[in-house]
Amino acid sequence: MIACPPKVQSALSNIDGVSTASATRKSATVLIDRNKVTNAQLIKAVQSAGNGFNATVVK
């Protein structure tokens, strides 16, 4: 099962320090407080949203 955008958006939004999150079938965009959120947290949240979902942080 591949993660759907609402699952990814929800997973990202639940991270302390994420101001906004939006997701499509191909990508997600988040506005974060760099003092509270790490790249590893973002990647883990996306990957935990569903099997087969890959994550890479692009600045």
CB atoms within 10 A of CB 7: 17
Q: Residue 18 has what pLDDT?
A: 97
Q: With respect to residue 23, please indicate whether it lies within any of the assigned structural domains.
A: yes
Q: Residue 42 has what pLDDT?
A: 93
CATH number of the domain enclosing 25: 3.30.70.100
Q: With respect to residue 56, please indicate whether it lies within any of the assigned structural domains.
A: no
Q: Residue 15 has what pLDDT?
A: 97
Specify whether the CB–CB gap between 3 and 25 falls below 8 A.
Answer: no
Q: Residue 9 has what pLDDT?
A: 93
Structural domain total, the chain = 1
Q: With respect to residue 55, please indicate whether it lies within any of the assigned structural domains.
A: no
Domain of residue 17, residue span: 5-48
* Residue in 8, 2, 18, 17 with CA at minimum distance from that of residue 44: 8
| Spatial separation of the C-alpha atoms in residues 47 and 38, rounded to whole Å | 15
Q: With respect to residue 37, please indicate whether it lies within any of the assigned structural domains.
A: yes
Q: With respect to residue 22, please indicate whether it lies within any of the assigned structural domains.
A: yes
pTM: 0.85
Q: With respect to residue 58, please indicate whether it lies within any of the assigned structural domains.
A: no
Tens-digit pLDDT string for the chain (59 aa): 455 889 999 999 999 999 999 998 888 899 999 999 999 999 999 888 876 677 778 77
Q: With respect to residue 16, please indicate whether it lies within any of the assigned structural domains.
A: yes
